[in-house]
Amino acid sequence: MKEIIAIIRPRKIGETRNALEQLGFPSMTATAVLGRGAQRGIAAEVKHINPDLLAPNHAGGMKYIPKRLVSIVVKNVDVATVVKTIIEVNQTSQVGDGKIFVCPIEDAFRVRTDERGESAV
Amino acid sequence: MKMIRAILRPETAELVAEGLAEAGFVSLTKINVFGRGKQKGITVGTVHYDELPKTLLLMVVEDANVDTVLKLIHHKAYTGNFGDGKVFITSVEEAYTVRTGAKGL
C-alpha cells in the first residue's frame, strides 16, 4: 500500500475528486492547509516572480498560499494511475499547481470490521 | 527523500519557517492542529486544557539534508519547556511536480 499526498489548488479539488471517483478511487481525506513552494509565496502583483524578491518584503504579497492537502491510500498497482490522473487534472501550466508525494504505508485497519491489510483500504 | 513533520508551538513555527527559508529550504506546508503530549495537556488553576493548539510544518527534503533541517528546527524552536514539540521523519518514495509532471523534488 502507498499513501499519495497531493498538495493542490483549492479550486481544483472538485475536479480531482470527480476524476478519481470515475476511476474507482472514491475515498480520500482533504485538509485545508497553507503552504509555499520554491517561489516563496506570491510577491505582490508581479506575474513572473523573481525568486530573489522575498514575498514578505513586498507590500500586498503573500507569505503562504491556501492549498488543499489530499491524502489517498491505494494499492501498489494503482499508484501510477492515480498520480497520472491527479497531474492531468491539476495542470494549469502556471506556477503553484502543487506537488505529489508517494509514501509507503505498512498496515491499515478498518475500525468497523477489524479487517487488516490491503482489504481494509 | 524524507518527509519531515514537525509539530511546534504556533509562535515558534514562524521563526522556524524563516530560518529554513534562509538556509535554502523554502518549500513547506503549514497546518494548524490540536494535540497533546506526555503531559496530557496543561492545567492552569482549576481548568484543564486537553488539546493545545500547535502548528504542523510538513516538508519533504533529500536524505542528505535531514540532519541540517533537524538541527535548524531544534535551534529555532527550543524554549526548554514542555510543549516545544516533536518531529517525525518518514520516507517518501516518489515526488512529482504537478505543473511539469516531472519526477523529483
Which whole number is the average pLDDT over A38-45?
Answer: 66
Asked whether residue A45 is assigned to any structural domain, the reply reads: no
Residue A26: inside a domain, yes or no?
Answer: yes
Class of domain B2-39+51-91 as given by CATH: alpha beta
A101/B95 CB distance under 8 A: yes
Residue A96: the pLDDT is: 86
B73 to chain A, minimum CA–CA distance in Å? 17
* Domain assignment of residue A92, yes or no: yes
Cβ neighbourhood burial of A53 (10 Å; 0-12, 13-18, 19+) = middle
Q: Do A99 and B96 touch (CB under 8 A)?
A: yes
Burial of B2 (0-12, 13-18, 19+ CB in 10 A): middle
Confidence of residue A48 (pLDDT cuts 50, 70, 90): low
pLDDT at A52: 53
What is the model's pTM?
0.85
C-beta atoms of B26 and A37 within 8 A? yes
Which range marks the domain in which residue A31 is found? 2-36+67-120
Whether the pLDDT of residue A60 is over 60: the answer is no
Does residue A93 lie in a domain region? Answer: yes
**Residue spans per domain, chain B:** 2-39+51-91
Whether residues A34 and B98 touch (CB distance < 8 A) is answered with no
What's the grid cell of residue A110? 478498518
Could you tell me if residue A112 is inside a domain? yes
The b/e string for A76-99 (b: 16+ C-beta within 10 A; e otherwise) is eebbeebbebbbebbeeeeebbbb
CB A100 within 8 A of CB A6: yes
**Inside any domain, residue A111:** yes
Asked if the Cβ–Cβ distance from B98 to A103 is below 8 Å, we say no
Residue A20 located in a structural domain: yes
pLDDT confidence bin for A49, thresholds 50/70/90: low
The band of A41, judged by pLDDT with boundaries at 50, 70 and 90, is confident
Among candidates A38, A69, A93 on the partner chain, residue whose Cβ is nearest the Cβ of B29: A69
Q: Which chain A residues are Cβ-neighbours of B34 within 8 angstroms? A: none
Cβ contacts from A onto B, under 8 A: 80
* pLDDT band at residue A44 using 50, 70 and 90 as cut-offs: very low
Phi, psi of A74 (to 5 degrees): -135, 170
CATH code for position A112: 3.30.70.120
> Based on the number of CB atoms within 10 Å of its own CB, is B91 exposed (0-12), middle (13-18) or buried (19 or more)?
exposed
What is the side-by-side order of every strand in the sheet holding B94-97? Answer: B85-91, B2-8, B52-61, B28-35, A29-36, A65-74, A2-8, A99-104, B94-97
A100 domain-assigned? yes
How many structural domains does chain A have? Answer: 1
Percent of chain A scoring above 70 in pLDDT = 84
Query: Using CB atoms, which residue from B3, B28, B93 is nearest to A36?
Result: B28
CB B101 within 8 A of CB B94: no
Written as tens digits, the pLDDT of chain B (105 aa) is 999 999 999 999 999 999 998 899 999 999 999 999 888 888 888 999 999 999 999 999 999 999 999 999 999 999 999 999 999 999 999 999 999 999 988
Q: Which residue of A has its CA nearest to B31?
A: A33
Assembly ipTM: 0.84
Which residues of chain B lie closer than 8 angstroms to A5, CB-CB? 3
Does A45 score more than 50 pLDDT? no
Residue of A nearest to B14 (CA): A63
Hunting for cell 496530557 — which residue is that?
Answer: B40
CA of A66 to nearest chain B CA: how many angstroms apart?
Answer: 10
At A68-120, the pLDDT tens digits run: 999 999 999 999 999 999 999 999 988 889 999 999 999 999 999 999 988 88
pLDDT at A27 over 60: yes
